[in-house]
Each structure stands twice: as C-alpha cells, then as structure tokens.
Copies of this chain bind each other. A is one copy, B any other.
C-alpha cells in the first residue's frame, strides 16, 4: 500500500495544481490500449521540464514510491498500468521542439512531442521523421517501447533512429547518453540500453532523432495473390533483389474484409501486399517495374497502382486503421493483436502454421496484418472477453504462436514491447543467464526497484 500523501505534500510547492490524486485523472492514467484491466496510480504529476521530472523522481526515491512514466497512453502491452500504484509522471506537457538542424538532418525534442506534431513542424524543411507506429504516439514513448511500424523495412525502428537521449535515472540524476555525432566509439551505448527499456531504467525526457529527406517521388501498389505463401515468397525475393521498398505490408483476406467494412474501401478480399516505393521519379519507376516482374513470377492475380497521392493516403490510412477495423467486426469484442517477428525465410511457414492452428481451434474471427519486410506480423484474435472459453482458446493459440516463433529464432515482440503481457515468454526467449545479466543492470541502476515496477523483466525468483 503506497503512502502517497507525504509525497504529494512534498511536491506541491513545485508542481502546484500539476500534481493530483483526482480519481478520474488517476484512472485515465491506469489504462492503455491493451486488453489488460485498468489499475490506477495513486497520483499523477505533469512536469514541464526535465528538472521537474528529476525532482519528482528524487522524492519518489526517498519515499520508495513506484514511478510510472506516461506518454500518449497508446502502448498496447500494459506498460503504463500502475500494478503497484505510485506516482504516474505524465510527460505530455513537455512538448517543446528544442532544435531542428536541417544541415545535420537531426533534431532534439521533449519526450511529449508526438510524431505528427514533429512532422507538421518539419514540413517546410523538406525533412521528415518517418517512423510510424500508426497511433500518434509521443516520441519519448516510442523510444521507450522501441517502436516502429510500416516503414521500418526502409528506415529502421526507433533503435536505428534515436541518436541520443536525456534521461532521469532512478536516483534523480540527469544524464545525456551521447552527443550529436552520427557515429561514436566512446562510452557504453546507454542510448540503446534506454531505447526499449519501457520506463524501467529511467525516464526519457528529451530525444535526439535522425531525420530523413522527404522523398522526391512516391508510388504505391496493392497486389493480390492466391495465397499468403505466394505473397510472402514475393516479399523475400524483392528484398533479395535489393529493391529498396519503403513499405511492404501483407494482409490476409479476412483483414481486408474487416478494412473494407470499417474504412468503406472496396479492396479485393484476397491476400494482398500493400507496397510503397520512394526515390527519384526514374528510380521509383525502375523499382516498381522490377517488383511487378517478381510478383508476376509468384502468380499475383491483380496489381493496382495508386500513383495519386489522395488514393495513397486513403490506402495507408486504411492499413493503419486495421487494428480498429478488426475490433469493429464484432461489437463488444476485443481485437487482441499478437506481435511476433521471425527470420524472413520462416515467414510463410510461420504464418501458415498459425493460420492452420487458428482454423482448427478458433470459433471466433482471426486475421493477419504484417510488416513482412522485417518478418514482423500481427495475428489478431477477435474475442468476446465475457466468454471464458474464447479467452482461453485465444491464450492457448498465442502460447503456441510464441513457441513456434522462438523455435524459428524469432522474438515474442517485434515492436509492442513486453510490458505486463509478455514477461512469461522472456525466459524462453533469452534463457536464465541473459535474464540474469539484464536484472543485474536493472538492480545497478534502480536498486530500490521503483522505476515502473512489475514491467519488462520477469520476477528473478521465477527463473533463478
């Protein structure tokens, strides 16, 4: 049981009405976009500066009060749920774009800046920050989750696009993990240690990001195949030919049907690749022609170019709304999106086995949407949370999916993170010695275990 009052009293002179125990606000901060039930923090504060974050963390360290960093709340594995109560530190008011350097193609922003806010700001510069998880997440949260999305095949994930971070450590100390040099062999790579740490090693308050030129020309296509396997094989060959696709997304017939219903589109309801090419006008044309040849060899049944920018936006909007579309086909139900990633050579086999398993066991709808250029896919189970049988079958299918993926050298999460929901797979994925090393680092930086407790790493007593 957290004694929150002394902490609130101590922080009120600094925070004023920006710290609160109001139950509505606390409950709002105890929930994300996942299926995990809400658990509210005892208080929420809204810092305006890194120094204010540090003051709150120092006070929590003294009082041994759990801290939960909160960005946009768009995470999907329970990362912000206050399983031990405590103080939620909401960074959404830290929205300053501190610096954009067009010559260096980089920028520094406060953690609460969202990706759409940054891209609006960049419009005049000819630059963009392309990483796009669908939701309008905060850039601090995206770094903390090691997020990515449809265009990771081209631009990489947050792992490849964060140059350095400003972080408040669990002690309240403020550190900079690196400078602005594009490469460095100095120091241990604390930047990458913090990227993907899901708020368990510190609170990211500023993010220095690589930016990318907006492409001169863009062209997109939808290609239908008779089978998911044929589509996956076309993807592998495309990558091996070094065609620099900007996005290459696979959706199965069920997912396309859900999208058509939700987004009022009329895409052919077959296994489909959504593809985008970028570059100079001539290189885009060359890529597209080569890709067309590969698809023909894999017996694609139709090929729709959408050179028009509005039509392209509509197509990607529909793709990004796929998760909502999945949920909407069965009102009152939850679309539970898995998030696995396998070596690309195993992709068709893994998807095929997962589909067969679902066909055999699931009496509820299931569908597939995948960032297949990376081997990352979301198999989605649309279950009624009030039917324990459905929930049990879904969990059993998910367990088998993870076992299948790990046996193929893959990972239990490509981009959503571990949070609460996937800790049970960490031992299988990493083994006890590797988890022990992670836990040693956690304990070294957060000896009192106050930083987002109960997330990311499983309890050491379960594997030692």
Contacts and interface: CB of A to CB of B under 8 A. Distances in A.
Interface of A: 101-106, 145-148, 152, 156-157, 159-160, 169, 173-193, 195-197, 201, 212-213, 215-216, 236, 239-242, 279-280, 282-283, 286, 339, 341-345, 374-376, 406, 409-418, 422, 425-426, 429-431, 433-434, 436-438, 440-445, 456
A454 to B, nearest CB: 16
Given A173-B436, A187-B418, 15 more contacts: A101-B343, A103-B343, A148-B183, A173-B437, A180-B343, A181-B411, A185-B196, A186-B429, A187-B196, A188-B441, A188-B442, A189-B192, A189-B195, A215-B242, A282-B286
A400 to B, nearest CB: 18
Contact of A184 (B101, B184, B186, B341): B341
Contacts of A341: 181-184
Contact of A186 (B181, B283, B422, B442): B422
A197 B239 CA distance: 32
A183 B152 contact: yes
Contact of A179 (B344, B411, B436, B441): B411
Closest 3 CB pairs of A and B: A192-B192, A444-B444, A103-B345
A443 B441 contact: no
B176 A430 contact: yes
Contact of A343 (B104, B147, B414): B104
Contact of A409 (B180, B213, B412, B438): B180
A173 B413 CA distance: 25
A180 B342 CA distance: 7
A406 to B, nearest CB: 8
Nearest to A189: B192
Contacts of A441: 188, 193, 441, 444-445
Contacts of A215: 242
B181 A410 contact: yes
Contact of A105 (B148, B239, B426, B436): B239
A173 B174 CA distance: 32
A236 B103 contact: yes
A76 to B, nearest CB: 11
A444 B433 contact: no
A434 B169 CA distance: 10
A440 B430 CA distance: 23
Given A192-B193, A342-B181, A344-B104, A187 B426 contact: yes
Given A187-B418, A188-B438, A433 B180 contact: no
A183 B415 contact: yes
Nearest to A127: B240
A101 B186 CA distance: 32
Given A185-B415, A410-B181, A444 B440 contact: yes
Given A193-B188, A413-B184, A434 B286 contact: no
A197 B186 contact: no
A293 to B, nearest CB: 13
Contacts of A195: 189
Nearest to A176: B434
Contacts of A443: 444
Nearest to A416: B185
Contact of A182 (B186, B283, B375, B434): B375
Nearest to A418: B186
A418 B186 CA distance: 6
A455 B160 CA distance: 27
A390 to B, nearest CB: 27
Given A190-B437, A445-B441, A181 B343 contact: yes
